[in-house]
Copies of this chain bind each other. A is one copy, B any other.
Amino acid sequence: MRQIKTARPCGIIRGMHSLATSVRALTFDVFGTVVDWRRSVIAEGQALGARTGLQADWAALADAWRKGYFASMAKVARGELAWDTIDALHRQVLDHLLPRFGLQSLGEADRAHFNTVWHRLAPWPDTVDGLTRLKQRLTITTLSNGNLSLLVAMAKHGGLPWDAVLTAELFGRFKPDPAVYLGAARLLGLAPEQVLMVAAHPFDLVAAQKVGLKTAYIPRPEEYGPGGPMEAVGDAVFDIVATDLVDLARQLGA
């Protein structure tokens, strides 16, 4: 993922009125778009530290873990690593990182539990309200690289009212592979242009757009913490730009 510190969210709103009638389903990126992974990982890390007496820079660990997740998926995409679930890839990355953060003494049970922090990520404050409104009029589903069991656990934990849980795992490829977006549209029984991909990350939206999906960009400027980096939008143009999921619902008349 390209991250450019100075990038500001921008984009052009186009075709919104027709979208509100033509779009039938919304597919949501999850990590960062729907849930605040960084704050949740830091909070559980701090609680783990308090309980075990181990000290670490939990924010830096969270960022390194997330970076390692992207690197692992890229290795899978290049064929350097066998396909595996995100739970498994997260665990490999975590085991690799712990010594660097002075946490090599962490036992198996604590490692296994901490690894599932990704099942317990907190929604952004607008998420549940926005999804609940959108669900009244449209089909709402995940379209995440997270594995299905992770996404189901997260939905139960955070009260996310998905109509369906779609994931890269169903297609054996990770986003931004086109097979994931097209596979989701096929399972939903829709043409690509009837599906709106919703994400905080331009790379995800651009990939969806290339195979015909409509796109909604929801910048999450605090995904990497206050003042943290955001991926550059560059010259990408999205169908909708919304400040959060409640704003998205409003723009779609839901």
Contact = CB atoms under 8 A, between A and B. Distances in A.
Interface of A: 85, 87, 139, 141, 147-150, 152, 155-156, 163-165, 169-170, 187-190
Contact of A165 (B87, B150, B164, B169): B164
A89 to B, nearest CB: 14
Given A87-B189, A189-B149, A163 B156 contact: yes
11 contacts: A87-B189, A139-B156, A147-B187, A149-B188, A149-B190, A152-B164, A152-B188, A155-B163, A163-B165, A169-B187, A170-B187
Nearest to A189: B149
Contact of A189 (B147, B164, B189): B147
Given A149-B187, A152-B163, A170-B170, 10 more contacts: A87-B189, A147-B187, A148-B188, A149-B189, A149-B190, A152-B188, A155-B163, A163-B165, A164-B164, A164-B165
A171 B101 CA distance: 42
Nearest to A171: B170
What 7 pairs across the A-B complex have the smallest Cβ distances? Answer: A149-B189, A164-B165, A148-B187, A152-B164, A152-B163, A149-B188, A139-B152
A5 to B, nearest CB: 37
Contacts of A169: 187
